[in-house]
Amino acid sequence: MHVQGDVDLPVKNPSKTKKMKKRKMEKWIPYLFILPSFLIIVSFLFYPIGTVFYYSLQYYDISAPYYNKFAGLDHFKRIFTEDDLFLPSLFNSFKWVVSQVGLQLILGMILALLLNQTFKFRGFVRAVAFIPWAISGVLASVMWSLMYNEHMGVINDLLMRMGIISTPQAWLSDTTTAFIGVVIAEVWRGIPFFAITLLAALQSIPEELYEAARVDGAGRWKSYIHITLPQLKNTIVLTTLLRTIWEFNNVDLLFNLTGGGPAHSTTTLTMYIAEQAVHGSNFGYGSALTVVTFGILFLFAIIYLKASRFEREGD
Protein backbone atom coordinates (compact mmCIF):
# COMPACT_ATOMS: atom_id res chain seq x y z
CA MET A 1 0.00 0.00 0.00
CA HIS A 2 1.43 3.30 -1.08
CA VAL A 3 0.62 6.39 1.01
CA GLN A 4 0.61 9.67 -0.88
CA GLY A 5 3.34 12.04 0.26
CA ASP A 6 5.68 9.31 1.47
CA VAL A 7 9.25 9.45 0.19
CA ASP A 8 10.76 6.26 -1.25
CA LEU A 9 14.08 5.65 0.47
CA PRO A 10 16.82 3.86 -1.48
CA VAL A 11 17.41 0.33 -0.30
CA LYS A 12 21.07 -0.34 0.55
CA ASN A 13 22.74 -3.23 -1.14
CA PRO A 14 24.86 -5.05 1.48
CA SER A 15 27.14 -6.71 -1.10
CA LYS A 16 27.78 -3.40 -2.88
CA THR A 17 28.63 -1.67 0.41
CA LYS A 18 31.01 -4.49 1.30
CA LYS A 19 32.78 -4.17 -2.07
CA MET A 20 33.21 -0.42 -1.60
CA LYS A 21 34.74 -0.94 1.85
CA LYS A 22 37.04 -3.58 0.42
CA ARG A 23 38.20 -1.23 -2.37
CA LYS A 24 38.95 1.50 0.17
CA MET A 25 40.98 -0.95 2.22
CA GLU A 26 42.87 -2.11 -0.88
CA LYS A 27 43.87 1.49 -1.63
CA TRP A 28 45.61 1.71 1.74
CA ILE A 29 47.43 -1.63 1.50
CA PRO A 30 50.40 -0.30 -0.61
CA TYR A 31 50.90 2.52 1.91
CA LEU A 32 50.93 0.02 4.77
CA PHE A 33 53.65 -1.96 2.99
CA ILE A 34 55.90 1.09 2.54
CA LEU A 35 55.19 2.45 6.04
CA PRO A 36 58.08 0.55 7.74
CA SER A 37 60.56 1.81 5.11
CA PHE A 38 59.20 5.35 5.46
CA LEU A 39 59.59 5.25 9.25
CA ILE A 40 63.15 3.94 8.93
CA ILE A 41 64.07 6.70 6.45
CA VAL A 42 62.55 9.38 8.69
CA SER A 43 64.29 7.96 11.77
CA PHE A 44 67.74 7.46 10.28
CA LEU A 45 67.91 10.13 7.56
CA PHE A 46 65.55 13.08 7.88
CA TYR A 47 65.65 13.34 11.67
CA PRO A 48 69.50 13.43 11.83
CA ILE A 49 69.59 15.97 8.97
CA GLY A 50 67.06 18.14 10.77
CA THR A 51 69.11 17.83 13.98
CA VAL A 52 72.26 19.02 12.19
CA PHE A 53 70.43 22.08 10.85
CA TYR A 54 69.06 22.77 14.33
CA TYR A 55 72.44 22.56 16.08
CA SER A 56 74.07 24.73 13.39
CA LEU A 57 72.07 27.60 14.90
CA GLN A 58 73.11 26.78 18.47
CA TYR A 59 76.16 27.15 20.65
CA TYR A 60 76.43 23.49 21.59
CA ASP A 61 79.65 22.29 23.21
CA ILE A 62 79.34 19.20 25.42
CA SER A 63 82.56 20.13 27.24
CA ALA A 64 81.09 23.49 28.28
CA PRO A 65 77.30 23.01 28.54
CA TYR A 66 76.82 26.22 30.56
CA TYR A 67 77.59 28.24 27.41
CA ASN A 68 75.00 26.43 25.26
CA LYS A 69 72.43 28.82 23.81
CA PHE A 70 70.94 30.09 20.56
CA ALA A 71 73.64 31.32 18.18
CA GLY A 72 71.66 32.39 15.12
CA LEU A 73 74.00 32.88 12.16
CA ASP A 74 77.12 33.48 14.27
CA HIS A 75 78.71 30.16 13.25
CA PHE A 76 78.26 30.92 9.56
CA LYS A 77 79.74 34.41 9.98
CA ARG A 78 82.74 32.89 11.69
CA ILE A 79 83.18 30.28 8.93
CA PHE A 80 83.32 32.82 6.11
CA THR A 81 85.10 35.68 7.88
CA GLU A 82 87.24 34.40 10.77
CA ASP A 83 88.06 30.72 10.22
CA ASP A 84 91.61 30.41 8.84
CA LEU A 85 91.29 26.68 8.14
CA PHE A 86 87.96 26.67 6.27
CA LEU A 87 89.27 27.79 2.85
CA PRO A 88 92.47 25.64 2.96
CA SER A 89 90.42 22.57 3.92
CA LEU A 90 87.90 23.35 1.17
CA PHE A 91 90.75 23.67 -1.34
CA ASN A 92 92.16 20.32 -0.15
CA SER A 93 88.71 18.80 -0.66
CA PHE A 94 88.61 20.21 -4.19
CA LYS A 95 92.06 18.76 -4.99
CA TRP A 96 91.08 15.45 -3.43
CA VAL A 97 87.82 15.11 -5.37
CA VAL A 98 89.26 16.18 -8.75
CA SER A 99 92.26 13.85 -8.49
CA GLN A 100 90.22 10.93 -7.19
CA VAL A 101 87.27 11.11 -9.58
CA GLY A 102 89.46 11.91 -12.60
CA LEU A 103 92.00 9.13 -12.02
CA GLN A 104 89.41 6.56 -10.97
CA LEU A 105 87.28 7.29 -14.04
CA ILE A 106 90.19 7.03 -16.50
CA LEU A 107 91.73 3.92 -14.95
CA GLY A 108 88.32 2.35 -14.33
CA MET A 109 87.41 2.90 -17.99
CA ILE A 110 90.65 1.24 -19.14
CA LEU A 111 90.05 -1.70 -16.80
CA ALA A 112 86.42 -2.07 -17.94
CA LEU A 113 87.45 -2.08 -21.61
CA LEU A 114 90.07 -4.76 -20.90
CA LEU A 115 87.67 -6.91 -18.89
CA ASN A 116 85.06 -6.61 -21.64
CA GLN A 117 87.35 -8.54 -24.00
CA THR A 118 87.18 -12.31 -24.43
CA PHE A 119 90.17 -14.21 -23.00
CA LYS A 120 90.97 -17.23 -20.85
CA PHE A 121 90.11 -17.08 -17.13
CA ARG A 122 88.17 -13.87 -17.68
CA GLY A 123 85.84 -14.58 -14.75
CA PHE A 124 88.76 -15.11 -12.37
CA VAL A 125 90.53 -11.95 -13.56
CA ARG A 126 87.31 -9.95 -13.07
CA ALA A 127 86.93 -11.26 -9.52
CA VAL A 128 90.54 -10.36 -8.66
CA ALA A 129 90.18 -6.88 -10.20
CA PHE A 130 87.15 -6.12 -8.00
CA ILE A 131 88.77 -7.20 -4.71
CA PRO A 132 89.88 -3.65 -3.66
CA TRP A 133 86.24 -2.50 -3.70
CA ALA A 134 85.31 -5.29 -1.27
CA ILE A 135 88.00 -4.33 1.28
CA SER A 136 86.89 -2.07 4.12
CA GLY A 137 88.39 1.37 4.52
CA VAL A 138 90.04 0.50 7.86
CA LEU A 139 91.68 -2.63 6.45
CA ALA A 140 92.86 -0.74 3.36
CA SER A 141 94.29 1.98 5.64
CA VAL A 142 96.26 -0.55 7.70
CA MET A 143 97.57 -2.25 4.57
CA TRP A 144 98.73 1.00 2.92
CA SER A 145 100.23 2.37 6.16
CA LEU A 146 102.39 -0.77 6.36
CA MET A 147 103.36 -0.42 2.71
CA TYR A 148 104.32 3.24 3.24
CA ASN A 149 106.19 2.50 6.48
CA GLU A 150 109.61 4.16 6.54
CA HIS A 151 111.44 1.22 8.14
CA MET A 152 109.75 -1.93 6.79
CA GLY A 153 107.47 -0.74 3.98
CA VAL A 154 107.50 -2.59 0.68
CA ILE A 155 107.30 0.66 -1.33
CA ASN A 156 110.62 1.95 0.05
CA ASP A 157 112.20 -1.45 -0.52
CA LEU A 158 111.08 -1.61 -4.16
CA LEU A 159 112.13 1.96 -4.95
CA MET A 160 115.55 1.44 -3.36
CA ARG A 161 116.07 -1.78 -5.31
CA MET A 162 115.18 0.07 -8.51
CA GLY A 163 117.62 2.87 -7.65
CA ILE A 164 114.93 5.57 -7.61
CA ILE A 165 115.64 6.56 -3.98
CA SER A 166 118.79 6.05 -1.91
CA THR A 167 117.33 6.25 1.61
CA PRO A 168 113.94 5.22 3.05
CA GLN A 169 111.28 7.95 2.95
CA ALA A 170 108.53 8.75 5.46
CA TRP A 171 105.92 9.21 2.74
CA LEU A 172 102.98 10.05 4.99
CA SER A 173 104.95 12.38 7.29
CA ASP A 174 106.24 14.72 4.60
CA THR A 175 104.06 17.65 3.49
CA THR A 176 105.22 17.20 -0.13
CA THR A 177 104.35 13.49 -0.40
CA ALA A 178 101.56 12.85 2.14
CA PHE A 179 98.74 14.06 -0.11
CA ILE A 180 100.04 12.10 -3.12
CA GLY A 181 100.38 9.01 -0.92
CA VAL A 182 96.76 9.01 0.26
CA VAL A 183 95.57 9.81 -3.28
CA ILE A 184 97.29 6.68 -4.62
CA ALA A 185 95.81 4.53 -1.84
CA GLU A 186 92.26 5.78 -2.45
CA VAL A 187 92.58 5.51 -6.25
CA TRP A 188 93.53 1.85 -5.86
CA ARG A 189 90.49 1.32 -3.68
CA GLY A 190 88.04 3.22 -5.92
CA ILE A 191 88.94 1.99 -9.43
CA PRO A 192 86.73 -1.14 -9.20
CA PHE A 193 83.60 0.98 -8.65
CA PHE A 194 83.96 2.61 -12.06
CA ALA A 195 85.13 -0.66 -13.63
CA ILE A 196 82.03 -2.54 -12.42
CA THR A 197 79.50 0.07 -13.50
CA LEU A 198 81.18 0.83 -16.84
CA LEU A 199 81.60 -2.88 -17.62
CA ALA A 200 77.88 -3.45 -17.02
CA ALA A 201 77.08 -0.53 -19.35
CA LEU A 202 79.52 -1.79 -22.01
CA GLN A 203 77.81 -5.17 -22.10
CA SER A 204 74.47 -3.51 -22.77
CA ILE A 205 75.68 -1.79 -25.98
CA PRO A 206 74.28 -3.63 -29.06
CA GLU A 207 76.99 -5.40 -31.07
CA GLU A 208 75.20 -4.36 -34.27
CA LEU A 209 76.42 -0.79 -33.78
CA TYR A 210 80.05 -1.89 -33.88
CA GLU A 211 79.42 -4.17 -36.87
CA ALA A 212 77.84 -1.28 -38.77
CA ALA A 213 80.82 0.94 -37.86
CA ARG A 214 83.28 -1.68 -39.13
CA VAL A 215 81.35 -1.94 -42.40
CA ASP A 216 81.65 1.85 -42.78
CA GLY A 217 85.40 1.60 -42.25
CA ALA A 218 85.59 2.93 -38.69
CA GLY A 219 88.52 1.75 -36.58
CA ARG A 220 88.59 1.03 -32.84
CA TRP A 221 89.29 4.64 -31.86
CA LYS A 222 86.44 6.07 -33.95
CA SER A 223 84.09 3.36 -32.70
CA TYR A 224 85.06 4.27 -29.14
CA ILE A 225 84.52 8.00 -29.69
CA HIS A 226 81.27 7.80 -31.70
CA ILE A 227 79.64 4.68 -30.21
CA THR A 228 81.08 3.67 -26.84
CA LEU A 229 81.33 7.08 -25.18
CA PRO A 230 77.84 8.29 -26.24
CA GLN A 231 76.33 5.01 -25.05
CA LEU A 232 78.15 5.33 -21.72
CA LYS A 233 77.27 8.99 -21.17
CA ASN A 234 74.48 8.53 -18.61
CA THR A 235 76.49 5.95 -16.70
CA ILE A 236 79.55 8.21 -16.61
CA VAL A 237 77.49 11.21 -15.44
CA LEU A 238 75.78 9.26 -12.67
CA THR A 239 78.90 7.44 -11.43
CA THR A 240 81.04 10.59 -11.40
CA LEU A 241 78.33 12.46 -9.49
CA LEU A 242 78.00 9.70 -6.90
CA ARG A 243 81.75 9.30 -6.59
CA THR A 244 82.23 13.07 -6.21
CA ILE A 245 79.80 13.13 -3.29
CA TRP A 246 81.36 10.04 -1.70
CA GLU A 247 84.92 11.28 -2.08
CA PHE A 248 84.02 14.75 -0.81
CA ASN A 249 82.65 13.09 2.33
CA ASN A 250 85.46 10.53 2.56
CA VAL A 251 87.13 10.53 5.94
CA ASP A 252 88.09 6.96 6.92
CA LEU A 253 91.23 6.45 4.82
CA LEU A 254 92.49 10.01 5.35
CA PHE A 255 91.89 9.82 9.08
CA ASN A 256 93.63 6.46 9.48
CA LEU A 257 96.62 7.23 7.25
CA THR A 258 97.47 10.83 8.13
CA GLY A 259 94.87 12.18 10.57
CA GLY A 260 94.77 15.35 8.47
CA GLY A 261 98.48 16.04 8.80
CA PRO A 262 101.23 16.82 8.45
CA ALA A 263 100.59 20.54 9.04
CA HIS A 264 96.97 20.16 7.77
CA SER A 265 98.25 19.26 4.28
CA THR A 266 95.67 16.46 4.02
CA THR A 267 92.91 18.08 6.07
CA THR A 268 89.81 18.12 3.88
CA LEU A 269 86.56 19.83 4.85
CA THR A 270 85.07 16.60 6.23
CA MET A 271 88.25 15.98 8.23
CA TYR A 272 87.96 19.51 9.61
CA ILE A 273 84.33 18.85 10.57
CA ALA A 274 85.36 15.68 12.40
CA GLU A 275 88.13 17.60 14.16
CA GLN A 276 85.74 20.31 15.33
CA ALA A 277 82.75 18.13 16.27
CA VAL A 278 84.26 14.84 17.43
CA HIS A 279 87.64 15.83 18.87
CA GLY A 280 86.79 19.41 19.83
CA SER A 281 83.28 18.54 21.11
CA ASN A 282 82.02 21.72 19.42
CA PHE A 283 78.94 20.20 17.79
CA GLY A 284 77.34 23.54 17.05
CA TYR A 285 80.22 24.78 14.91
CA GLY A 286 80.73 21.32 13.39
CA SER A 287 77.04 21.24 12.42
CA ALA A 288 77.36 24.65 10.75
CA LEU A 289 80.32 23.37 8.71
CA THR A 290 78.23 20.33 7.77
CA VAL A 291 75.39 22.56 6.56
CA VAL A 292 77.85 24.52 4.40
CA THR A 293 79.17 21.22 2.99
CA PHE A 294 75.61 20.09 2.24
CA GLY A 295 74.93 23.35 0.41
CA ILE A 296 78.11 23.02 -1.68
CA LEU A 297 77.33 19.45 -2.72
CA PHE A 298 73.66 20.20 -3.41
CA LEU A 299 74.55 23.16 -5.61
CA PHE A 300 77.22 21.13 -7.42
CA ALA A 301 74.78 18.26 -8.09
CA ILE A 302 72.18 20.59 -9.62
CA ILE A 303 74.70 22.42 -11.83
CA TYR A 304 76.42 19.18 -12.88
CA LEU A 305 73.19 17.43 -13.88
CA LYS A 306 71.97 20.46 -15.80
CA ALA A 307 75.31 21.00 -17.54
CA SER A 308 75.56 17.32 -18.53
CA ARG A 309 71.89 17.22 -19.64
CA PHE A 310 71.47 13.94 -17.81
CA GLU A 311 68.71 11.69 -19.24
CA ARG A 312 67.51 14.47 -21.55
CA GLU A 313 65.59 13.39 -24.64
CA GLY A 314 67.37 13.70 -27.95
CA ASP A 315 70.90 13.07 -26.60
For the chain, the structural domain boundaries read 14-55, 85-308
For domain 85-308, give the CATH superfamily: MetI-like (1.10.3720.10)
Whether 83 has a pLDDT exceeding 60, the answer reads: yes
Q: Is the pLDDT of residue 2 over 60?
A: no
Task: Work out the average pLDDT over 134-138.
Answer: 86
Instruction: From 279, 78, 303, 95, select the one nearest 182 (Cα to Cα).
Output: 95
| Alpha helices for the chain (secondary structure H) | 14-41, 47-55, 74-81, 86-115, 122-129, 131-134, 137-147, 154-161, 178-202, 207-215, 220-223, 229-248, 252-257, 269-274, 283-308
Q: Convert the pLDDT of each residue in 204-219 to its tens digit.
A: 888 888 888 888 888 8
pLDDT(7) > 60: no
pLDDT band at 92 (very low <50, low <70, confident <90, very high): very high
Contacts of 290 (CB under 8 A, 6+ apart): 52, 56, 273, 277
User: Would the pLDDT of 138 be above 70?
Assistant: yes
**pLDDT at residue 315 tops 50:** no
Checking if the pLDDT of 169 tops 70, the result is yes
| More confident call, 84 vs 278 | 84
- Confidence band, pLDDT 50/70/90 cuts, at residue 143: very high
Whether the pLDDT of residue 125 is over 60: the answer is yes
Q: Which residues pair with 282 in a beta bridge?
A: 61
Residue 97's pLDDT band, with cuts at 50, 70 and 90, is very high
Kindly tell me if the per-residue pLDDT of 309 is higher than 90.
Answer: no
Task: Please determine, for residue 1, whether its predicted confidence score (pLDDT) is greater than 50.
Answer: no
